[in-house]
A and B are shown apart, each in its own frame.
Chain A
Amino acid sequence: MRIPYQKFTNKRTTLAEKLIFLVLFFLILIIFRSWFTSGLITSGDFLYFSPQMMRDTPLALYSWDSIISIVGLSQFIVPYLWIYPYLIFPQVILGKFWGLDWSLVERVSYLYPYLILMVISPLFFVRRVLPKDKPYDLFLLIFSFNTVILTWIEGGEIFLGLAYALMPAILALFILLSREASENGNKKYLYAIITGVALAVAIMIDARISYVTGMAVALYFLFSSFLNNALRSKIKMNRDFFKTFFFVGIFPCVVAGLLHAFWIIPAVVYGKNPVGLLGSAYASAKAVRYLSFAKFEQTLGLLHPNWPESIFGKVGFMKPEFLLLPLIAFASLFFIKKDTDQRRKIILIFAAIGMVGIFLAKGSNEPFGSIYIWLFTFFPGFSLFRDSSKWYPMIALSYAVLIPYTLFSFAQIISKKKLGIISKHSLILVVSLFILLWCFTIKEAVMGQLTGALEEVIIPREYKNLEKFLHKDVSYSRVLWVPTRHRFGYYSYIHPAISIETILQEYDPIVATTKLTMQQIKLEELSVKYVIVPFDSQQELFMNDRKYDKKKYQKIVALLQKIPWLKQIKGFGEIMVFENTSYNDHIWSSNKDVVYTSIDPTMYKLQLKNATKGDVIVLSEAFDSHWIMQAKHIVVQSKPYHNSLTSFTLTKNSSDNLTIFYSMQKWLVIGEIITVVSLVGIAVAIIALFLKK
């Protein structure tokens, strides 16, 4: 059975639709023009990986990460592993095996799929869900080219953009599934599996937007049930109800859960709130209040607070033209009274979804901001949303349905008046006027003024030289970046990167550098051999009031040059490289020579001559009680070393080889097996259901 879809060239193609697609085409060419060249695109969280870094990337997943610290030195990385397959597989397959440069890998794996999805996904929703007698293709313009998604893309939030682009398709799949769920036959199984896979893909790309999508789906069905009189006449707990609930509510979630077993199982076994592990900057109400940048009038107007510069913290004033959007959107409520049941319900449902989005996207701002704080603290899953702007997609979805309805209803009214040529071409006139208004709201994008991930960058030669230098040093040591690693800064399993901000818990880099003068022992224990002050080529590290401040860089360099135990290494232009004259290896003991082999980031084999009871062996990784040392007759639990590192105290004399391993890794392997078996099972099921049809 083929999942039917309406082709683009069907009878509904009108002049207005052609105009819409022409405008979309030109907007893509103008806004994303740099994506069609060969230059490097990198900005914000959309990182860069050099050819060497891609060659160093293993295909396997590990439950412990110390290569690039998220919080502190290193951590149990499993709760964030959902994205790793999508992050790692392109690097390994395209970069490592095929030798492609990152500028090509990123286009093939992320940028072009985004461009395709931003058209196909809304089109799928329009063709399959919305009533067929009106051309709703304006949905694509409103959903895919608003200030929210453009700000995210400009800021390098490509993964967010991909998950956002998938949102209409996933909502459509759930709606189609609900229509099939109570029917007999195998279609519902196929729809349920495909919906589950789509949900799993969305979660893999961005868990937060997937949650927003799930919330939109849940609200759709909640409002739909109410409108279908289900609640009023008391939900009939009959076979049909349970069947629908199972196929729509449970089945896809189980499929998605099985496909994500590789991180869910170890995360559940570990037993700690993954957001809580990130610290108060992520998990506190204070963080929510700080990050609630959008004001109510901005969410109402579908205006991202950082539009158009996409600079963190720089919030613009309300632009009054954006208030025309909710006027047009909610004017749809005037026209639904005499319309069909189906259209009335759709408009009401999406109006309600939009209103929920408007309220949530403002975060803790007035009115009634304390409700959001309560939700963040107590409602399951809301702790993911310290940044409330992630709720904007619900508003975009809503307006993308409501606005076309208003415009076409208005055009219909005009067409019935005797206004000559205006009546005859009312639809094209109304659509044209709206397109002009829309283009005015995103005029910075239309004029090609957006930067960030929408313009190419060039890697300074100094960073390529630094990479060669670090790669040649084959012995393990950490690199301390002051204040933090530059996006072109090399890192690897042999030379993990740490930042002074996370090590010293001090976010003022000058204060942190001043503290560094007293931290020689700490750096020694952390195996730090190199201290690097980056050349801020992208002007994003040494900032003062959101502007690049070279004096900060100069001050930090001057402070480091005065430290007697740091020796400057010249030859890297404006990148200042210092070598620490004394540092420990990755695994060390104060009174014994340790020879070790690194099997992978979660396992090390040690040879320790004449190991005696009481010997302390330190693994230079953040303390975690799941690190275990084992030999033939010894099992040693880890203990904190100086409150920060992992250490083991031998409980008896031993001349055996010792193994240090991270015990959570086995749960990751179990989860991976379940994921792979599920993937194979799903593929077989889909093929079987297609053939059966």
Chain B
Amino acid sequence: MKIQDILFIIILLLLLWKRKPEWLVGVAIFSVIIAVPLFAKWIFFTAERLTYYGFGFLLCAVVILFIQEARRK
């Protein structure tokens, strides 16, 4: 496991603890935005990793939104 993976897990756990899906979506979008210039510069490894993290944040956001929606009266 690389250091960026550990960082991702820490941020993810913090955001899950907060249970604010908008923050998760925001961080996901931020990850992908940073990946754009990295792909343009052919720095593929980090860029790919950022897309994985972005997807991970998004997945958690969608799951939380689903649960919140299902519980909504």
Contact = CB atoms under 8 A, between A and B. Distances in A.
A297 interface: yes
Contact of B55 (A331, A334, A352, A358): A358
A351 B66 CA distance: 11
Nearest to A347: B65
Contacts of A26: none
Given A296-B52, A317-B42, A330-B25, A223 B66 contact: yes
A320 B66 contact: no
Interface string B12-43: 00000000011001101100110111011010
Contacts of A333: 21-22, 25, 58, 61-62, 65
Nearest to B65: A348
B55 A323 contact: no
A158 B52 CA distance: 33
Contacts of B47: 297, 318
A272 interface: no
Interface residues of B, number: 31
Instruction: Identify which of A223, A300, A344 gathers the most chain B CB atoms within 10 Å of its CB.
Output: A300
B53 to A, nearest CB: 10
Classify the secondary structure of A's interface with B. helix
A331 B66 contact: no
B6 to A, nearest CB: 16
Nearest to A367: B52
A320 B37 contact: yes
A297 B48 contact: yes
B2 interface: no
Q: How large is the interface on A (under 10, 10 to 19, 20 to 34, 35 or more residues)?
A: 35 or more
B59 A355 contact: yes
B25 A331 contact: yes
B28 to A, nearest CB: 7
Nearest to A319: B39
A327 B33 contact: yes
Nearest to B72: A341
Interface in A226-256: 226-229, 231-232
A232 B71 contact: yes
A337 B22 CA distance: 9
A127 interface: no
A367 B50 CA distance: 12
B51 A355 contact: no
B28 A330 contact: yes
Nearest to A228: B70
11 contacts: A229-B70, A297-B48, A300-B51, A300-B55, A320-B37, A326-B32, A330-B28, A330-B58, A348-B66, A358-B55, A366-B48
Interface of B: 21-22, 25-26, 28-29, 32-33, 35-37, 39-40, 42, 44, 47-48, 51-52, 54-55, 58-59, 61-62, 65-66, 69-72
Interface of A: 223, 226-229, 231-232, 295-297, 300, 317-320, 323-324, 326-327, 330-331, 333-334, 336-337, 341, 344-345, 348, 351-352, 355, 358, 366-367
